Each structure stands twice: as C-alpha cells, then as structure tokens.
Amino acid sequence: MTSISLPELCLVALIGASGSGKTTFAREQFAPGEVLSSDAFRMLVSGDENAQDATHDAFEALYFVARQRLRRGLLTVIDATSVQADARRHIVALAREFDVLPVAVVLDLPEDVLMARYRARTDRHFGPQVISGQVGQLRKSLGKLQAEGFRHVTVLRSAEDVRAVSITRTR
C-alpha cells in the first residue's frame, strides 16, 4: 500500500497520460468539488470534452476556479495530463501564489495498459500516437518534478498501485 499524506490545504496535480486513470483515482480519493478536470472544463466551455480547440478557454476557467478555491483555503486537485513542463510550471506558480504545497501524484502506467484501455474506450478520438507521445513526455519529466518545485512526489506504476493508495490529511 502507498500512503500519501497531504496537508489539509495543498494543490494536488494528478499527472499521467490519457487513460492512466486520473479521473477514476480522483473520483475515489477526493470529494467531487475538490477536483478540477480539464475534460470537465472543456465540456463546460464548449460542450465537448474532447474539443482540443477549447483547451485555452478551458484552462483559463479551470485556473479561475482553482484560485477561488485556494483563496478560500480549500484543497484543490488538478486532473489534467500535465505531462508537459509548461503545464506543470503553471501549477507550481499557482501553489506559490497562495503559499500552499504543490503535490504531484504521477500515474506512470505501462504503455501497453494505456493502449488497451484506449482501444476499449469510445470517448477518445485522438490517435494512439498521442498516448505514446504523452508517455514519452512523462518519462522525460519524472526526474525533474522535485526541481520544478513539487514538494511531495508519488509515482504509481501499475493499476494495482493506483488502487492501493491510501490518502490521509494532516493539519
């Protein structure tokens, strides 16, 4: 079992390629209002959670809500792939803006697992090469997360690891 101890107020980034199980993990481990999902915000701003042309607007809205939550002292989880350094830079900057701890939970599942899930899904329309690209970006990122500013980094490498996480909150 992997134990993750979170301060009651922190900014959690779930990091992982599409299909790694971020949304499923978030649903199991956090309250609904705590999780800001890029897919949900794409849906809100455009009516289509897959609309890549809505990404900019979706993140603007997501960050607006994240700021409102952190200002109120509420733990916030960002459910987006965040496999690119640039995306993570925004998360760390946001945490610093509110003087809260940026926490990374990385879902680094084997590529064949991601591909099998992708093939079984009807809700994702990009090609499988997108997942390979994300996996490559994630692997390059793994050693850099602490230096980027994430203070707690947990890397989960299998579906079993993901399911066996126990999160506790500390004051």
Nearer to ligand GTP, 163 or 169 (CB): 163
Nearest CB to ligand GTP, comparing residues 134 and 145: 134
Which positions lie near ligand GTP, rule CB under 6 A? Answer: 16, 18-24, 39, 81, 117, 121, 124, 159, 163
Q: In the complex with ligand GTP, which residue's Cβ is closer, 4 or 113?
A: 113
Q: Kindly state the smallest distance separating residue 140's Cβ from ligand GTP, in Å.
A: 18
Beta carbon nearer to ligand GTP, 81 or 94 = 81
Q: How far is the CB of 135 from ligand GTP (least distance, A)?
A: 12
As measured in angstroms, the least distance from the Cβ of 72 to ligand GTP is: 25
Quick one: three-class SS letters along the chain? CEEEEEECCEEEEEECCCCCCHHHHHHHHCCHHHEEEHHHHHHHHHCCCCCHHHHHHHHHHHHHHHHHHHHCCCCEEEECCCCCHHHHHHHHHHHHHCCCEEEEEEECCCHHHHHHHHHHCCCCCCCHHHHHHHHHHHHHHHHHHHHHCCCEEEEECCHHHHHCEEEEEEC
At its nearest, how many Å lie between ligand GTP and the CB of residue 21?
4
